[in-house]
Amino acid sequence: MAAMDANSSYDRMKELKEFDESKMGVKGLSDSGITSIPRFFVHPPETLSDFKNSSSTCTNIPIIDLSGIINSKDADHRLKIVEQVKEAAKTWGFFQVINHGVPISVLDETIHAIKAFHDQPHEVKAKYYKRENELGGVMYTSNNDLYRAKSAAWHDSLQAWMGPEPLKVADLPEICRNEVVAWDKSAKEVAETVMELLCEGLGLEAGKFKELTFLDARVLVGHCYPYCPQPDLTVGITSHTDPGVITVLLQNHVPGLQVKHGNEWVNVKPLPGGLIINAGDFLQIISNGEYKSVQHRVLANSSKEARISIVIFFNLAKWKGDGYHGPLPELLSPEKPAIYRNFTRQEFFENFYSKGIDTKSLIEKIKIKN
Ligand code: OGA
Ligand code: NI
């Protein structure tokens, strides 16, 4: 038995390495015209049967109209929007904003530019292909957690650390350089508005998150989910929660994103002009459990057209002088004691990089058990 295990894991490692070293990504596999996917992409039956249980109902994540917030001082209206954001962040952990002030042309140009990057021949993209955990710079890869995850997923990604150290713009691939820079600026403005609303929902000063530098440490990831010839055997992205404070997600018209709500997986229908916002683990922790970081995943793409999504993760930049983070003291009282203990930067990174994205998050580890 042991020999067989050793043998099959040896084969798997060899195949993973061959795929990784080819630098062709899943886009390259898809373009090559394969009709069956390499076996290291095949997920176990438990995961696959869960995908068959996706919700077919018409529920959708909340849609929040930000017109009347941008450039307006109508306090009553603002209170209503704060309530909507608070409710969505508490019960869904996910919502979609419309009339956020970013022109549709900017959204379209960003999607086109990221698509154009992924559409290049793989020899051109190969010079950006890396697999390292360093924080900073630009990298293109297939499956961040390729060697850590139990099964691989059907997507490739271009990642750029936009802050806190300013990115060297020349490091960005020319084909999407201007668009990535412009999108980062626009998405940061939307994030600032949303963070203000989230702060007000917690009874904090609107500018509190900005003051805590939550807008500074940003990673932009341009995902490509190409056509998958066997979409029932694999996934686009494995179910996970995002580690940061909030994530801003821009997607094209090809569906696939699903959000866990109660026991159901809800399809997020692409909404032209909409931006998806979700709470990450840090937000759940610093809000002392008020806002929820919710599981989400992406189906393997069965459409001939690639699904493109561009996410920006807003993380904790500065760590407190004494080296730890936890629930914001302003939110704690004898009636509302901390439900999470403080954690260190090292604990966060060890947790994040020790495993595939699907396993238990930091939140479970630092929960105070009574
Ligand atoms: C992620 C993520 C979803 C998507 O990158 O963390 O959840 O639609 N992406 O690409
Ligand atoms: Ni995510």
Pick the closest to residue 188 from 285, 75, 74, 100 (CA basis): 100
pLDDT tens across 291-304, in order?
999 999 999 999 99
Of 109-113, 159-163, 360-364, the range with the lowest mean pLDDT is 360-364
Pocket test residue of 144, 239, 251, 309 for ligand 1, highest count of atoms within 8 A of CB: 309
Q: Where are the alpha helices (DSSP H) in the chain?
A: 2-22, 25-31, 45-52, 75-91, 104-119, 122-125, 177-201, 208-211, 281-286, 345-353, 362-366
**Does 4 score more than 70 pLDDT?**
no
Ligand 1 atom with least separation from CA of 309: 10
Listing DSSP states for 175-238 in one string gives GGHHHHHHHHHHHHHHHHHHHHHHHHHTTS-TTHHHHTTTTTEEEEEEEEE---S-TTTSEEEE
Ligand 1 atom with least separation from CA of 297: 7
> How far is ligand 1, taken at its centre, from the CA of residue 333, in Å?
35
Q: Whose CA is nearest to atom 10 of ligand 1?
A: 309
Of 86-95, 134-143, 212-221, the range with the lowest mean pLDDT is 134-143
Token pair of 352 as six digits: 């994040």
Stretch 149-154: mean pLDDT, rounded? 94
The answer to whether 198 and 89 are in contact (CB under 8 A) is: yes
> How far is ligand 1, taken at its centre, from the CA of residue 293, in Å?
13
Q: Whose CA is nearest to atom 6 of ligand 1?
A: 242
Strand 156-161 versus strand 217-225 pairing type: antiparallel
**Does 10 score more than 80 pLDDT?**
no
Pocket test residue of 257, 276, 312 for ligand 1, highest count of atoms within 8 A of CB: 257
Using a pLDDT cut of 70, give the percent of the chain over it: 91
Q: List residues bridging with 276 in a β-sheet.
A: 96, 249
Confidence at 281, pLDDT banded by 50, 70, 90: very high
Pocket test residue of 219, 237, 282, 299 for ligand 1, highest count of atoms within 8 A of CB: 237
**Does 150 score more than 50 pLDDT?**
yes
Say whether 325 sits in a helix, a strand or coil. strand
pLDDT tens across 13-52, in order?
999 999 999 999 999 999 999 999 999 999 999 888 887 7
Task: State residue 346's pLDDT score.
Answer: 81
pLDDT tens across 345-357, in order?
788 878 877 766 6
Query: Cβ contacts of residue 351 below 8 Å, gap of 6+?
Result: 361, 362, 365
Ligand 1 atom with least separation from CA of 223: 10
Stretch 309-329: mean pLDDT, rounded? 83
Confidence at 1, pLDDT banded by 50, 70, 90: very low
pTM: 0.94
Task: State residue 72's pLDDT score.
Answer: 74
**Does 338 score more than 90 pLDDT?**
yes
Which ligand gives the minimal distance to the CA of 236?
Answer: 1
Pocket lining for ligand 1, CB < 6 angstroms: 221, 223, 237, 242, 249, 251, 257, 296, 298, 309, 311
**Does 129 score more than 70 pLDDT?**
yes
- The Cα-based distances of 166 to 100, 290, 329 in angstroms read 25, 32, 30
Task: State residue 233's pLDDT score.
Answer: 97
**Does 337 score more than 80 pLDDT?**
yes
Stretch 154-173: mean pLDDT, rounded? 94
**Does 8 score more than 70 pLDDT?**
no
Which span out of 2-16, 265-279, 308-322 was modeled with the highest average pLDDT? 265-279
Task: State residue 2's pLDDT score.
Answer: 36
Task: State residue 57's pLDDT score.
Answer: 61
> How far is ligand 1, taken at its centre, from the CA of residue 304, in Å?
20
Task: State residue 6's pLDDT score.
Answer: 47
pLDDT tens across 225-262, in order?
999 999 999 999 999 999 999 999 999 999 999 999 99
Using a pLDDT cut of 90, give the percent of the chain over it: 76
pLDDT tens across 44-75, in order?
998 888 877 665 566 789 999 999 887 777 88
Which ligand gives the minimal distance to the CA of 280?
Answer: 2
Taken in order 330, 334, 340, 341, the sign of the CA dihedral is positive
Of residues 11 and 178, more confidently modeled: 178
Pocket test residue of 118, 145, 223 for ligand 1, highest count of atoms within 8 A of CB: 223
Task: State residue 280's pLDDT score.
Answer: 95
Stretch 279-292: mean pLDDT, rounded? 96
The answer to whether 283 and 327 are in contact (CB under 8 A) is: no
Stretch 63-90: mean pLDDT, rounded? 92
Q: Whose CA is nearest to atom 5 of ligand 1?
A: 311
Which ligand gives the minimal distance to the CA of 311?
Answer: 1
